C-alpha cells in the first residue's frame, strides 16, 4: 500500500487535532524550560493550516499539502518552532516532489528531508535537547524499516515510536540550543516541548496511515 | 489572572490599534500584517531600521519608533517572535533606497524569522544588514548554549543606530555603530515576581515570598540562580559584578548607566537601585556620564529590573545626545 | 512582600538621591528637608510652581519637575502628605520674585500641610496662590464627604500651568489657568490588584481572583464598588460613563484623552484600554485631539488604570503643546 | 494635686510608648477605611518628639512641652493627622500659658483648646467619624468633672473613658471627613483610627496623672 494525498491531508488534520488537544500540555513543558508558548504557537499554526486545507485545489499531490503546511507554519507560528517546522515541511515537500503515491522509500526520504531542514536552520545535533532528539531517531528507525522492507504503515509506526523514545531521552539532558540552554543544569529533568510535538505529529502520520 | 484585555487572541492587535490612535504624530500602523512605522516612512535616502520580537516588552519596540530611532517595529504574539511576513512588509515600508538594518535580539526564533525575512527582502532588491544583540551576561556565551540573550541593551543600540541613520550614515556605517554598541554594553537582570502571559493565564514560574531569581530573561524564562531576598543594594552589587567583569569595565571609563524596570516595579524602587548602582560605579572609578531609568524592556507585569552599562566614547555620546522623538524616549524635539 | 529597597524608612530619601544622579541636567535635590527643584531654580521673574504629596505615585511629582512644568516637587513619606517645612523650603527655593503657585491634590492632609506652608511663606514675604485639584468623579462631591479627590488629572494641570508660567504669565493668570484645567477635567480609575506600602509589608486591601475595584483612589484606599472582572472594553465603558456625564462632555467637544497606568499594568493593556476609550468617545461625537498614555500617577505596583478626559479649547491646547522637559514628560526641547 | 512639667513630660513619653505599641493596630484600622499609615505617621511624630524631649531645657513649663509636641508633630507627621494633632497641641499650649502647675480647670481648658484647634483646621463635627468623635466627648466629660469638682486625675480618667466610648461610637458611622468619606457605606463597621489614637493619648494622660 502507498500513501496518497488523502493520507497527507488526513495526517495534517489529525496532527492539528492532537496539537490542539495537547496545547496546554506543550505550553506546560515549555513553561518549565522555555517561555511557555510552544503549544500556543503550534496550535495557532496548525489551525491556520486546517483552514487552508479546506481550500486545497483538486488534483493536489502530497507534496502540495506539505508545501502548504510549510508556508502556513512559516507565516503564522513565529518563535523558534515556526521556521524550524516550516523548513522541515518545505524540505519534505521538495523531497517527495510531485508524485501522487508515496511508498515506504518516499516516506523515509520525507522524514529525513524534514530533519535535515531543521538541522540546516537550527544547527542542533542529537543530545542538544531539541526536537532533533525526536526527529533523528525517527529518521534512523524509518531507514531501518525501509531496509527491512517494512510496509509504509510499519515504517511510520516505528518512526513514531522512535520519536517518542527520543522525546523521553531529552529529560535527563542539559540543553545546548534554544531557550532551555539558558538554564544550564536546571533544564535537567524536563522534556523538550519541540521533541514532544514532533512525536505527536509523527504519531498522527502513523495512525492515519494505518487507517488509510 | 486579571488583565485589562478582551479576547487574549486580540491583545496585540488591539494594543497596536490603540497605539496608532494615541500617537498619530509619531507613527502609522498596519494591522495585517502587523507592524508600526514612523509617520513619515519611508524617508528617502535614509537607512531604515527595523526591530521587533515578541510582544510583552513594551515600550520596546513600538514605543521606540520615531525620528532618530526605529523606522519600524514588528510585534509578534506575546513573547513569540514575529513571522517573516510582517518583518518583510515592515522592511519594504521603511526602505528609502539606502537599505535597511534589522536589529535582532539573540533568540533562536527571532534570529530565524528575521533571517528568512532578510532573504525575502534581498530577493525583492532591498539591501538588508542584520545585527544580533546579545548583551545579557547572565547567560554564558559558549558552544553549548544558544549564546547570550539580547535584553535591555537593545534599547541603547536602537537609540544610537537610529541617530546614526538620521544623520545620514550609510548602511554599513549604521550596522557598524550598532555592532559597536552591542560590543560595548553588558546587562543583567533580576525578577522578584513572575509574569503571566495572557493566553497561559498562569505565571511562567513561581517564586516563594522570600525568593528572587537572578539572571532572569525577558520572556518569563527562569533565570540561572534562585536566592533569598536581599536588600536592594546587595542585589545591585550582585548584578554589577558580572557586568563589570565581563567587558571588562575599568577605572576611568565613561559609561551610560541604564536601570530598566521589568514592568511591575514601582519607580521609587528603580531610583533606589539607580542610586546604589551609580555609587558602586563611582567606587570603582567609573564615570557615569549618561543615564537612563525607566520601564523600557519589560516582561509584562513582572517585578524586577535589569542593569545595563554601556562604555561610551565621543561618537557614542554624541549619537546618544542626538534628538529623538518616540512615544517612550524623547528629547531635543 | 518583596521590594527593591533597603530600610523601608529610607526609601524616599534614597529614591530622591537616585533621581538626582539620574537627572542632573533637569533637577537639583535637597535631602533635608526633602524636595526636588528644576536645575535652574529660581527663575527670576517667573511664577514658581510647587506640587507634592505622598510618595508612591511616581513619576508624579518629581518626574514632572523641569522646564515648562513644575519648579519643585515635595515628596512626603509613601502615601503621606509632606509636612509644611519642606513645602516652605521648596517654595523659597523656586521663588523668582513673581510668586509661587501651590498645586494641591484634594486630600485633607495635603490641603492642611500646604495651607500651613503657604501661611509661613506669606509670612516670609512670598506671594502664594493655591489650586486644589479634585478631578475624581468616583467620589461624590457633597457636604458629606471631604470632597472629590485629586488624581491623574493633576498631571494635566501641572503641564498646562507650567507652560503658562514658562511663557511669563503672572501668578493670578497661572492660578486661573490651573483652575480652568481642574474645572475641565474628570477622571475615574479601577484597580485589579492592591499595592503594598513598604512599611506596611502587606496589601492595602485584598481582591479575589475574579474581582476588581471600581473608583479606586491612588493611595490604596478601597474604591466605591467591587465587581466581578470584565473584559477591558466593558471596564472602559463603565469608567467613561460617569466621567462624560459629570462635566458634562458633549458631542463636538475637543478633548485630551489620558489613560494612566496605576504602576503594575503592562503597557499593552493600557493601549488596549486606550483603543476602546478613543472609540467610545468617537461614538459620542467627541473629538480626541490630544492624547497621553502611560504610568504617570501611580500607586506603587498596583495593577489598574484611570481614564481622564480634559475638555480643550485653543488656549489649553496651545499650552499643552508648549515645550516641556522633565524626566517623565518631554517634548519640544 | 496639680500637674506640673514632670507630668507633662511623662504624659508625652507614655503617649509615645503606647502609640509605638499600637502602631500596627492603628495602621490596620487605617487600612480598612483609609490608606493604612496612621500608626506609622503618629509613631514617626512621637518618636521625634521623644528625641526633642531629651533636650528639654531646665525650667520649662507644661506649655513648653505642649508647644514642643505641636511643632514637632507639624514638622514630622504629615498627612491629615500631623496638622490636626499639631494644631491641637499648639492651641493647648496657648491655653495653659506659662503656668507651672495645672489644676483641673487648666487641664479641662487644655483639652477643650486642643479639640477646638482640630475643629478650626478640619471643620469636623461629632458624627463625622473622625478624631473629633473622641475629643468632643472627652471635652464634655472633662467639663462635667470640673463642674463636679473632681480631682485632675479623675477628670483625666473620665475624659479618657469618654474618648474611648467615642472611638467605639465611630464604628457604625458613615464618614463625612477624611479619606474614609470616600468609602460611603463601606466605612460602616470600622473604627476611626484618629479617634483611637486620641483615646490612647488621653489614656496616657490619665495614667501618668494617677502616678504623678
Ligand atoms: N536550534 C534549534 N534546533 C532545533 N530545535 C530547536 C532549536 N531551538 C529551539 N528548538 C526547538 O524549539 C522548541 C521551542 O519552540 P517554541 O516554544 O515554539 O519557540 P520559542 O522558543 O521561540 O518560544 C524547543 O522545544 C526545541 O525543540
Ligand atoms: N477633617 C478632619 N477633621 C478631623 N479629623 C480628621 C479629619 N480628616 C481626617 N481626620 C482624622 O485623621 C485620621 C487619619 O490620619 P492619617 O491616617 O494619619 O492621615 P491621612 O488620612 O492623611 O493618611 C482619621 O482617622 C481621622 O480621625
Ligand atoms: Mg517557547
Ligand atoms: Mg516564544
Ligand atoms: Mg496618608
Ligand atoms: Mg492614613
- How close is the Cα of A49 to the center of ligand 3, in Å? 20
pLDDT for residue C257 = 98
Quick one: B204 and B73 in the same domain?
no
Enumerate helices (H) and strands (E) in chain D, giving the number of each: 9, 0
Contact list, A176 vs chain B (CB under 8 Å)? 143-146
**Model confidence at C76: pLDDT above 90:** yes
**Model confidence at B240: pLDDT above 70:** yes
Helix, coil or strand: residue B159? helix
In this prediction, residues C67-80 reach a mean pLDDT of 96
pLDDT for residue A1 = 80
Quick one: C273 and C325 in the same domain?
no
The label of the residue with cell 518618636 reads D47
Mean model confidence pLDDT for chain C? 95
In this prediction, residues B279-306 reach a mean pLDDT of 98
> Is C189 in CB contact (< 8 Å) with chain D?
no
**Model confidence at B222: pLDDT above 90:** no
Task: Say whether B269 and C15 touch across the interface (CB within 8 A).
Answer: yes
Residue at B1 is within a domain: no
Nearest chain D residue (CA) to C145: D176
pLDDT for residue C220 = 74
In this prediction, residues C287-299 reach a mean pLDDT of 98
Residue-wise pLDDT tens digits, B101-123 = 999 999 999 999 999 999 999 99
State the DSSP code for B70: B
Quick one: A5-211 is in which CATH superfamily? Answer: DhaL domain (1.25.40.340)
All structural domains of chain D with their residue ranges: 5-211
The rounded distance, in Å, linking the Cα atoms of B249 and B243 is: 8
| Domain that includes residue B17, residue range | 8-184+321-331
Give B161-183 as a DSSP string.
Answer: HHHHHHTT--HHHHHHHHHHHHH
Nearest chain B residue (CA) to C332: B333
Quick one: C301 and C257 in the same domain?
yes
- How close is the Cα of C112 to the center of ligand 5, in Å? 12
The rounded distance, in Å, linking the Cα atoms of B226 and B310 is: 26
Among candidate residues D143, D116, D139, D128, the one with its CA nearest the CA of residue D175: D128
Enumerate helices (H) and strands (E) in chain A, giving the number of each: 9, 0
- How close is the Cα of B77 to the center of ligand 1, in Å? 16
For residue C219, name the pLDDT band (cuts at 50, 70, 90): confident
C-alpha cell at position B306 = 535589569
In this prediction, residues D174-193 reach a mean pLDDT of 93
Neighbours of chain B (3+ CB pairs under 8 A): A, C
The rounded distance, in Å, linking the Cα atoms of C142 and B29 is: 45
Contact list, C83 vs chain D (CB under 8 Å)? 74-78, 82
Is the minimum distance from the CB of A177 to ligand 1 under 6 angstroms? yes
Query: Which residues have C-beta within 8 Å of that of residue D176, sequence separation ≥ 6?
Result: C143, C144, C145, C146, D124, D127, D128, D129
For residue B131, list its beta bridge partners: B103
Q: Give the number of the atom of ligand 1 that is nearest the alpha carbon of residue A79.
A: 22
Do B and A have ≥3 inter-chain CB pairs under 8 A? yes
Chain A residues with CB-CB distance to B under 8 A? 27, 31, 33-37, 40-41, 44, 74-84, 121-122, 174, 176-179, 181-184, 186
Residue-wise pLDDT tens digits, B245-270 = 999 999 999 999 999 999 999 999 99
The rounded distance, in Å, linking the Cα atoms of D212 and C36 is: 47
Query: Which residues have C-beta within 8 Å of that of residue B328, sequence separation ≥ 6?
Result: B59, B60, B63, B64, B294, B296
For residue D114, name the pLDDT band (cuts at 50, 70, 90): very high
- Look up the CATH number of the domain holding residue B30: 3.40.50.10440
Residue at B3 is within a domain: no
Quick one: C111 and C210 in the same domain?
no
> Is B38 in CB contact (< 8 Å) with chain A?
no
Between C6 and B199, name the one with better pLDDT: C6
pLDDT for residue D61 = 97
- Residue B326 Cα distances to B22, B43, C269, D97, D145, angstroms: 12, 16, 19, 63, 71
Query: Which stretches of chain A score pLDDT less than 50?
Result: none
For residue B203, name the pLDDT band (cuts at 50, 70, 90): confident
**Model confidence at B18: pLDDT above 80:** yes
State the DSSP code for C99: -
The rounded distance, in Å, linking the Cα atoms of C320 and C49 is: 16
φ/ψ of residue A59, rounded to 5: 80, 10
Quick one: C103 and C201 in the same domain?
no
Helix, coil or strand: residue D16? helix
Nearest chain B residue (CA) to C329: B330
**Model confidence at C144: pLDDT above 80:** no
CB A70 within 8 A of CB A95: no
- pLDDT more than 70, % of chain C: 98
pLDDT for residue C142 = 67
Residue-wise pLDDT tens digits, C84-101 = 999 999 999 999 999 999
Residue at B241 is within a domain: yes
Alpha-carbon torsion (A188, A190, A194, A197), positive or negative: positive
pLDDT for residue B142 = 66
**Other CB atoms within 10 Å distance of the CB of residue B229:** 17
In this prediction, residues C230-244 reach a mean pLDDT of 98
C-alpha cell at position B299 = 516582561
pLDDT for residue B199 = 79
Among candidate residues D13, D48, D46, D63, the one with its CA nearest the CA of residue D211: D13
Virtual torsion, Cα C170, C173, C179, C184, nearest 10 deg: -130
Residue-wise pLDDT tens digits, D133-154 = 999 999 999 999 999 999 999 9
- How close is the Cα of C132 to the center of ligand 2, in Å? 18
Task: Say whether B274 and C21 touch across the interface (CB within 8 A).
Answer: yes
State the DSSP code for D57: P
**Model confidence at C20: pLDDT above 70:** yes
For residue C200, name the pLDDT band (cuts at 50, 70, 90): confident
Query: Which residues have C-beta within 8 Å of that of residue B22, sequence separation ≥ 6?
Result: B327, C259, C271, C274, C278, C291, C293
pLDDT for residue A30 = 94
Ligand 2 lining (C-beta closer than 6 Å): C 80-81, 108-109; D 30, 34-35, 37-38, 41, 79-81, 84, 118, 122-124, 130-132, 177-179, 192-195
H-state helical runs in chain C? 11-22, 84-94, 108-123, 153-166, 171-184, 232-246, 267-283, 314-321
Among candidate residues A200, A153, A109, the one with its CA nearest the CA of residue A3: A153
Among candidate residues B191, B306, B194, the one with its CA nearest the CA of residue B242: B306
- How close is the Cα of B79 to the center of ligand 4, in Å? 5
The rounded distance, in Å, linking the Cα atoms of C80 and D69 is: 19
Residue D4: exposure state from Cβ atoms within 10 A (0-12, 13-18, ≥19): middle
Chain D residues with CB-CB distance to C under 8 A? 27, 31, 33-37, 40-41, 44, 74-84, 121-122, 174, 176-179, 181-184, 186
- pLDDT more than 90, % of chain B: 91
- How far does A185 lie from chain B, in Å, by closest CA? 9
Task: Say whether C200 and D183 touch across the interface (CB within 8 A).
Answer: no
Number of Cα atoms under 13 Å in the Cβ half of residue D82: 35
- pLDDT more than 90, % of chain C: 91
For residue B143, name the pLDDT band (cuts at 50, 70, 90): low
Instruction: Give chain C's domain count.
Output: 2
For residue C205, name the pLDDT band (cuts at 50, 70, 90): confident
Please name the residue whose Cα sits nearest to atom 1 of ligand 2.
D122
- How far does C181 lie from chain D, in Å, by closest CA? 23
Quick one: B47 and B148 in the same domain?
yes
Element (H or E) spanning C79, and its range? Answer: none
Quick one: B302 and B202 in the same domain?
yes
pLDDT for residue B166 = 98
In this prediction, residues B85-108 reach a mean pLDDT of 97
Residue D108: exposure state from Cβ atoms within 10 A (0-12, 13-18, ≥19): buried
Element (H or E) spanning C4, and its range? Answer: none
- How far does C82 lie from chain D, in Å, by closest CA? 5
User: What per-residue string of b and e applies to B242-279 under the rule 16 or more CB within 10 Å gives b?
Assistant: bbbebbebeeebbbbbbbbbbbbbbbbbbbbbbbbbbe
Please name the residue whose Cα sits nearest to atom 2 of ligand 1.
A122
**Model confidence at C301: pLDDT above 90:** yes
Contact list, C77 vs chain D (CB under 8 Å)? 37, 40-41, 44, 78
The rounded distance, in Å, linking the Cα atoms of D147 and B228 is: 64
Residue at B233 is within a domain: yes
Of D35, D84, D122, the CB nearest to C219: D35
Q: What angle do CA B205, B211, B215 make, to 5 degrees?
A: 65
Mean model confidence pLDDT for chain D? 96
Pocket probe mutation, ligand 2, options C57, C81, C109, C111, max atoms within 8 Å of Cβ: C109
The label of the residue with cell 512639667 reads D5
C-alpha cell at position C303 = 495593577
ipTM: 0.93
Residue-wise pLDDT tens digits, D14-69 = 999 999 999 999 999 999 999 889 999 999 999 999 999 999 999 999 999 999 99
In this prediction, residues C32-55 reach a mean pLDDT of 98
Is the minimum distance from the CB of A84 to ligand 1 under 6 angstroms? yes
The rounded distance, in Å, linking the Cα atoms of C142 and C68 is: 34
In this prediction, residues B123-150 reach a mean pLDDT of 88
φ/ψ of residue C158, rounded to 5: -65, -40
Of C79, C83, C145, the CB nearest to D37: C79
Please name the residue whose Cα sits nearest to atom 6 of ligand 1.
A130
pLDDT for residue B95 = 98
The rounded distance, in Å, linking the Cα atoms of C272 and B328 is: 17
Quick one: C150 and C204 in the same domain?
no
Quick one: B145 and B56 in the same domain?
yes
Amino acid at each position: 500500500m502507498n500513501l496518497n494525498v488523502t493520507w497527507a491531508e488526513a495526517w495534517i488534520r489529525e496532527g492539528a487535532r492532537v496539537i490542539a488537544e495537547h496545547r496546554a500540555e506543550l505550553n506546560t513543558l515549555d513553561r518549565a524550560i522555555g517561555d511557555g508558548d510552544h503549544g500556543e504557537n503550534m496550535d495557532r499554526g496548525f489551525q491556520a493550516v486546517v483552514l487552508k486545507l479546506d481550500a486545497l485545489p483538486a488534483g493536489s499531490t502530497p507534496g502540495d499539502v506539505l508545501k502548504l503546511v510549510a508556508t502556513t507554519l512559516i507565516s503564522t507560528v513565529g518563535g523558534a518552532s515556526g521556521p524550524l517546522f516550516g523548513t522541515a515541511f518545505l524540505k519534505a515537500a521538495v523531497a517527495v516532489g510531485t508524485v501522487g503515491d508515496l511508498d515506504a522509500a518516499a516516506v523515509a526520504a520525507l522524514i529525513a528531508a524534514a530533519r535535515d531542514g531543521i538541522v540546516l536552520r537550527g544547527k542542533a545535533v542529537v543530545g542538544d535537547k531539541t526536537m532533533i532528539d525526536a526527529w533523528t531517531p525517527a529518521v534512523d528507525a524509518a531507514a531501518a524499516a525501509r531496509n527491512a522492507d517494512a510496509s509504509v504503515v510499519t515504517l511510520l509506526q516505528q518512526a513514531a515510536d522512535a520519536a517518542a523514545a527520543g522525546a523521553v531521552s531529552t529529560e535527563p539532558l542539559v540543553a545546548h540550543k534554544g531557550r532551555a540552554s539558558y538554564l544550564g543544569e536546571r533544564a535537567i529533568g524536563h522534556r523538550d516541548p519541540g521533541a514532544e510535538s514532533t512525536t505527536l505529529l509523527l504519531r498522527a502520520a502513523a495512525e492515519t496511515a494505518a487507517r488509510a | 489572572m486579571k488583565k485589562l484585555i478582551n479576547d487574549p487572541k486580540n491583545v496585540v492587535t488591539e494594543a497596536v490599534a490603540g497605539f496608532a490612535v494615541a500617537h498619530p504624530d509619531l507613527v502609522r500602523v498596519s494591522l495585517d500584517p502587523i507592524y508600526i512605522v514612523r509617520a513619515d516612512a519611508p524617508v528617502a535616502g535614509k537607512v531604515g531600521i527595523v526591530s521587533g520580537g515578541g510582544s510583552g516588552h513594551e515600550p520596546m519596540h513600538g514605543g521606540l519608533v520615531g525620528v532618530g530611532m526605529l523606522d519600524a517595529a514588528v510585534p509578534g504574539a506575546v513573547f513569540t517572535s514575529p513571522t517573516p511576513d510582517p518583518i518583510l512588509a515592515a522592511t519594504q515600508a521603511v526602505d528609502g533606497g539606502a537599505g535597511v538594518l534589522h536589529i535582532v535580539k539573540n533568540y533562536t526564533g527571532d534570529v530565524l524569522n528575521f533571517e528568512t525575512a532578510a532573504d525575502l527582502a534581498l530577493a525583492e532588491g532591498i539591501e538588508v544588514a542584520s545585527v544580533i544583540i546579545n548583551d545579557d551576561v547572565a547567560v554564558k556565551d559558549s558552544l553549548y548554549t544558544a549564546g547570550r540573550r539580547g535584553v535591555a541593551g537593545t534599547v541603547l543600540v536602537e537609540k544610537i543606530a537610529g541617530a546614526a541613520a538620521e544623520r545620514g550614515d550609510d548602511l554599513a556605517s549604521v550596522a557598524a555603530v550598532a555592532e559597536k554598541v552591542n560590543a560595548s554594553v553588558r546587562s543583567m537582570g533580576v525578577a522578584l515576581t513572575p509574569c503571566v502571559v495572557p493566553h497561559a493565564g498562569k505565571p511562567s514560574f513561581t517564586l516563594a515570598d522570600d525568593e528572587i531569581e537572578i539572571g532572569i530573561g525577558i520572556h518569563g524564562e527562569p533565570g540561572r540562580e534562585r536566592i533569598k531576598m536581599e536588600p536592594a543594594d546587595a542585589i545591585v552589587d550582585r548584578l554589577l559584578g558580572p557586568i563589570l567583569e565581563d567587558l571588562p569595565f575599568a577605572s576611568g571609563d565613561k559609561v551610560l548607566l541604564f536601570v530598566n524596570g521589568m514592568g511591575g516595579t514601582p519607580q521609587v524602587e528603580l531610583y533606589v537601585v539607580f542610586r546604589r548602582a551609580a555609587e558602586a560605579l563611582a567606587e570603582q572609578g567609573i564615570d557615569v556620564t549618561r543615564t537612563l531609568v525607566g520601564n523600557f524592556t519589560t516582561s509584562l507585569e513582572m517585578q524586577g529590573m535589569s542593569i545595563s552599562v554601556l562604555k561610551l566614547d565621543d561618537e557614542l555620546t554624541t549619537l546618544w545626545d542626538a534628538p529623538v522623538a518616540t512615544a517612550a524616549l524623547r528629547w531635543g524635539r
